[in-house]
């Protein structure tokens, strides 16, 4: 194998940031927008959401160049009330649409206690936790849901792919513990993990992927064309459906049978998201609440592990530790992927990404 999973190089955070910005500027984004997208992509790479960071750069660049994403859009609030807004992203980079939506939600929640902002005309926005965590700095809880553009999941009992991996992220502020942050897809496995299994020559467990006859697929090479199964059977299907209704249909985006196939890179995906910000001070003294959240986090961390498990972890703890480690030691990228970035850099006329 040319590229075993462990063949990685490390890259400094500042250097990856520089490279992402320059690449996006070369693809037509204004400088400030490029910086903001770079920051959101770095967020994913720092917190270990490796499938949603720099690894997406080549496809973003292709879509920007083919016209599938608008580099110079007119983003606007289509509808607005005290505690709600609907953002039309005008097919801007999803990271920018969502950053804007999250800021609107936070401002509105500051005044009214809670706010819900939906987006349409949006695009892939990277790691879900990135937006759910934005309200934390203002002592708010964040909740984010997104409609994935590609449908790889069937309704429970069916075999027609009508739903995406539609993720949810929820972030809760703490005092001294790392924040409690859940960021999950509603499918039992992601294509990233399927590819990892293929690379490692491992079979997949039963019940994660099925073929179009409803039979379980355990060969990762065949899983690429299979249907992803939801978490908890009909429960995960129901969650995915609800997130597509709240994050998509409500906002006027294309979903289900009407979803846009974004394999054509010139076609806007019209995807959607939703973010809610909930102001802690409307329910409790902020420090009291954070202390109680700390205790919840600590009670989990210090709870009795299963035989063979070193430590019980709460959602967000591992991502926090990964970020600390990667800020110190750099972000690991596969050698083969890093080489492909060199080619991209040459095409865009920018300096290559230099390893540590």
Binding to a second copy, residues 60-119 (CB under 8 A)? 79, 81-84, 86, 111-116, 118
Other CB atoms within 10 A of residue 314 CB: 21
Minimum CB separation from a second copy for residue 94, in Å?
Answer: 18
Q: Which of residues 122-141 bind a second copy (CB under 8 A)?
A: 141
Q: How far is the C-alpha of 241 from the C-alpha of 125, rounded, in Å?
A: 19
Q: Contact letters (x/-) for a second copy, 252-271, by CB under 8 A?
A: x--xxx--------------
Other CB atoms within 10 A of residue 156 CB: 17
Size of the site for a second copy (CB under 8 A): 78
Nearer to a second copy, 118 or 269 (CB): 118
Minimum CB separation from a second copy for residue 351, in Å?
Answer: 40
Among 219, 299, 324, 342, binds a second copy (CB under 8 A): 299
Nearer to a second copy, 198 or 242 (CB): 242
Among 28, 73, 155, 355, binds a second copy (CB under 8 A): 155
Nearer to a second copy, 58 or 238 (CB): 238
Q: Which of residues 33-62 bind a second copy (CB under 8 A)?
A: none
Minimum CB separation from a second copy for residue 234, in Å?
Answer: 7
Of 244, 231, 273, 261, the closest CA to residue 125 belongs to: 273
Q: How far is CA 221 from CA 165, 201, 224, in A?
A: 20, 9, 6
DSSP letters of 5-67? TT-EEEE-HHHHHHHHHHHHHHTT--HHHHHHHHHHHHHHHHTT-GGGSGGGHHHHHHHHHHT
Among 32, 66, 77, 159, binds a second copy (CB under 8 A): 159
| Segment contacting a second copy by CB under 8 A, of 18-26, 64-72, 285-293, 323-331 | 285-293
Q: Which of residues 173-212 bind a second copy (CB under 8 A)?
A: 180, 182, 184, 188
Q: How big is the CA angle at 290 (ends 289 and 291), to the nearest 5 degrees?
A: 90
Q: How far is the C-alpha of 39 from the C-alpha of 91, rounded, in Å?
A: 19
Paired with 119 in beta bridges are 87, 273
Minimum CB separation from a second copy for residue 136, in Å?
Answer: 13
DSSP class of residue 313 equals -
Among 303, 339, 343, 356, binds a second copy (CB under 8 A): 303
Nearer to a second copy, 21 or 165 (CB): 165
Minimum CB separation from a second copy for residue 80, in Å?
Answer: 8
Contacts of 31 (CB under 8 A, 6+ apart): 21, 25
């Amino acid at each position: 194998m040319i590229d075993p999973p462990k063949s990685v190089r490390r890259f400094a955070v500042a250097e990856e940031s520089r490279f992402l910005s320059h690449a996006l500027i070369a693809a037509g984004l204004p400088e400030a927008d490029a910086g903001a997208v770079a920051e959101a992509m770095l967020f994913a790479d720092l917190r270990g959401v490796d499938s949603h960071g720099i690894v997406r750069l080549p496809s973003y660049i292709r879509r920007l160049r083919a016209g599938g994403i608008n580099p110079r859009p007119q983003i606007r609030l289509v509808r607005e009330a005290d505690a709600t807004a609907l953002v039309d992203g005008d097919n801007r980079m999803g990271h920018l649409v969502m950053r804007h939506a999250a800021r609107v939600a936070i401002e509105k929640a500051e005044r009214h206690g809670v706010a819900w902002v939906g987006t349409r005309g949006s695009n892939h926005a990277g790691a879900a936790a990135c937006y759910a965590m934005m309200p934390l700095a203002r002592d708010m809880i964040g909740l984010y849901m997104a409609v994935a553009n590609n449908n790889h999941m069937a309704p429970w009992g069916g075999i027609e792919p009508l739903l995406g991996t539609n993720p949810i992220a929820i972030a809760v502020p703490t005092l001294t513990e790392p924040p409690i942050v859940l960021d999950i897809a509603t499918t039992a496995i992601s294509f990233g993990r399927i590819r990892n299994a293929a690379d490692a020559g491992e079979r997949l467990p039963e019940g994660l992927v099925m073929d179009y006859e409803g039979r379980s697929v355990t060969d990762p090479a065949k899983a690429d064309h299979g249907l992803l199964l939801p978490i908890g059977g009909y429960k995960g299907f129901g969650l995915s459906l609800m997130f597509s209704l709240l994050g998509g249909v409500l906002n006027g985006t294309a979903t289900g049978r009407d979803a846009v196939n974004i394999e054509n890179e010139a076609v806007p995906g019209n995807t959607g998201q939703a973010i809610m910000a909930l102001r802690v001070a409307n329910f409790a003294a902020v420090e009291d609440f954070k202390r109680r959240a700390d205790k919840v986090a600590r009670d989990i961390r210090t709870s009795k592990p299963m035989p063979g498990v070193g430590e019980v972890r709460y959602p967000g703890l591992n991502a926090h530790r990964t970020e600390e480690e990667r800020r110190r030691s750099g972000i690991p990228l596969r050698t083969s992927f890093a080489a492909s970035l060199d080619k991209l850099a040459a095409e865009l006329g920018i300096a290559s990404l230099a390893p540590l």
